């Protein structure tokens, strides 16, 4: 468990231009009813509680405030009309802020950052829950970001983030986190944020010739939108499995020896195919009743900022990810050649979708999501990071 040291709210610095309203695009609307996103970063930082309270926490708050000066919407709310007229939007006004909790724990951090199987519920103590929506004048307002900083005395510090996906995708949130980290590390020098970390807010670059945003919202209004932060069920397990560069090389050699003309044989496709087929085959091994003709789905996301014509700025603030969906019969994946079939399916999906801008503009991509059986789906989030000169890729897979 984590015990609270301080509960506070942090907003942009006084006197800064702290008001901004952004309309939602069709990329944003599809996340309105989605569960909140939760992330935890762990830092090896052997600091005492007194140092944490007197130095670390104040510096984090000051640099966070300055980061919010540039990432203004994160301090605000998603605003949804309570009547049939009007459309949701992101809005930050003077006085808005995010909830920040500083806490400490006596739990040993190895049970969280090791590679062993861990209960998902063990992590919930270190990520905040977003406050419930509140009612304003004919609107409902839901906060989009909350942060919890936890001290594991003399060992590590964790920073947990909970955000409403509608405010932005992984590229947006990671950009904010990196901006905050730079400001905290280098004495709050705002010049460090030039270009690479300065958000681009112009929503007019997302073209909507078929009025998708309005159509998606009109469909959503038929059902009551629940804007509460619902905690993910706790009966889940997290595990870490390492696939080395050597392993990936062997996968590729195997594939190309059997299918020399196979395209898109990349580290991503072979890793995803291997995990997908392992999960499928494991179901039979534990005695689950499986329909061999039942359809299995593999869902992964692609950032479309650079793929539009013309491309969007890489610092575009908001959602700009497209779901790619590979599908086939269970029996295809469970058989001996299942791994090869999976690589081929994922590669073909990427090849087909990577330049298909028309399917985005006409709304086909959002309709395709409605065809997915999420109980028979493996989904993946991929993020890259560097340790020294070594590039590592962490891929998180989810199975219902």
Residue scoring higher pLDDT (360 or 236): 360
**CATH assignment, 2-221:** 3.30.559.10
One DSSP character per residue, 379-395 reads EEEEEEEEETTEEEEEE
Helix (H) or strand (E) holding 310: none
Classify domain 241-399 by CATH architecture.
2-Layer Sandwich (3.30)
Tens digit of pLDDT for each residue in 49-81?
999 999 999 999 999 999 999 999 999 999 999
Q: How confident is the model at residue 255 (pLDDT cuts 50, 70, 90)?
A: very high
The pLDDT of 320-334, averaged and rounded, is 94
Per-residue model confidence (pLDDT) at position 121 = 86
Q: How confident is the model at residue 391 (pLDDT cuts 50, 70, 90)?
A: very low
Per-residue model confidence (pLDDT) at position 306 = 93
Q: Report the chain's mean pLDDT, rounded to a whole number.
A: 89
Per-residue model confidence (pLDDT) at position 152 = 94
Q: Which two tokens stand for residue 7?
A: 């509960």
CB atoms within 10 A of CB 266: 15
Residue 197 scores a pLDDT above 90: no
Pairing of strands 98-105, 145-152: parallel
Q: How confident is the model at residue 122 (pLDDT cuts 50, 70, 90)?
A: confident
Query: Is the fold of 2-221 the same as that of 241-399?
Result: yes
CA distance 159 to 62: 15
Per-residue model confidence (pLDDT) at position 158 = 95
Percent of the chain with pLDDT strictly greater than 70: 94
Q: How confident is the model at residue 144 (pLDDT cuts 50, 70, 90)?
A: very high
Per-residue model confidence (pLDDT) at position 19 = 85
Task: With beta carbons less than 8 A apart as the criterion, state whether 277 and 342 touch.
Answer: yes
Domain boundaries, the chain: 2-221, 241-399
Residue 11 scores a pLDDT above 80: yes
Residue 314 scores a pLDDT above 70: yes
Q: How confident is the model at residue 299 (pLDDT cuts 50, 70, 90)?
A: very high
Residue 148 scores a pLDDT above 60: yes
Q: Which of 340, 341, 363, 365 has its CA nearest to residue 352? A: 365
User: Of 10-19, 169-178, 184-193, 231-240, which has the strongest mean pLDDT?
Assistant: 169-178
Per-residue model confidence (pLDDT) at position 65 = 96
Residue 329 scores a pLDDT above 70: yes
Cis previous bond, 38, omega within 30: no
Residue 298 scores a pLDDT above 90: yes
Q: Which residues partner with 295 through β-bridges?
A: 329
Per-residue model confidence (pLDDT) at position 238 = 84
Per-residue model confidence (pLDDT) at position 383 = 52
One DSSP character per residue, 45-96 reads ----HHHIIIIIHHHHHHHHHHHHHHSGGGGSEEEEESSSSS--EEEE-TT-
Residue 137 scores a pLDDT above 90: no
Q: How remote is the C-alpha of 328 from its chain's centroid?
A: 26
Residues 6+ apart with CB under 8 A from 187: none
Task: With beta carbons less than 8 A apart as the criterion, state whether 215 and 33 touch.
Answer: no
pTM for the model: 0.91
Per-residue model confidence (pLDDT) at position 51 = 96
């Amino acid at each position: 468990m984590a015990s609270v040291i301080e509960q506070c709210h942090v907003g942009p610095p006084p006197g800064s231009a702290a008001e901004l309203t952004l309309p939602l695009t069709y990329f944003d609307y599809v996340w309105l009813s989605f569960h909140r996103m939760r992330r935890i970063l762990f830092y090896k930082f052997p600091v005492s509680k007194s140092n944490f309270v007197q130095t670390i926490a104040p510096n984090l708050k000051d640099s966070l405030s300055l980061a919010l000066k540039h990432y203004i919407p994160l301090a605000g709310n998603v605003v949804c009309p309570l009547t049939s007229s009007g459309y949701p939007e992101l809005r930050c006004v003077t006085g808005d802020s995010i909830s920040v909790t500083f806490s400490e724990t006596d739990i040993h951090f190895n049970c969280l950052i090791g590679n062993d199987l861990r209960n998902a519920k063990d992590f919930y103590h270190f990520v905040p829950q977003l406050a419930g929506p509140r009612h304003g004048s004919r609107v409902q307002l839901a906060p989009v970001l909350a942060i919890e900083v936890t001290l594991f005395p003399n060992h590590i510090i964790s920073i947990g983030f909970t955000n409403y996906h509608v405010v932005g995708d992984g590229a947006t949130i990671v950009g904010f986190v990196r901006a905050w980290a730079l400001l905290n590390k280098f004495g709050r020098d705002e010049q460090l944020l030039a270009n690479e970390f300065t958000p681009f807010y112009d929503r007019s670059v997302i073209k909507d010739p078929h009025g998708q945003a309005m159509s998606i919202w009109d469909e959503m209004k038929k059902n009551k939108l629940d804007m509460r932060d619902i905690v993910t069920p706790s009966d889940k397990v997290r595990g870490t499995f390492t696939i080395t560069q050597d392993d990936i090389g062997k996968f590729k050699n195997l594939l190309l020896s059997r299918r020399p003309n196979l395209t898109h044989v990349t580290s991503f496709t072979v890793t995803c195919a291997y995990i997908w087929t392992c999960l499928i085959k494991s179901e039979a091994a534990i005695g689950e009743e499986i329909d061999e003709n039942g359809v299995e789905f593999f869902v992964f996301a692609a950032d479309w900022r650079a793929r539009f014509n013309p491309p969007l700025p890489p610092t575009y603030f908001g959602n700009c990810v497209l779901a790619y969906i590979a599908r086939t019969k269970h029996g295809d994946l469970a058989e001996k050649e299942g791994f090869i079939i999976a690589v081929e399916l994922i590669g073909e999906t990427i090849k087909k979708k990577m330049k298909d801008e028309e399917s985005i503009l006409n709304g086909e991509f959002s309709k395709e999501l409605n065809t997915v059986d999420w109980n028979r789906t493996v989904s993946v989030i991929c993020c890259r990071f560097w340790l020294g000169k070594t590039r590592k890729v962490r891929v998180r897979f989810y199975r219902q």
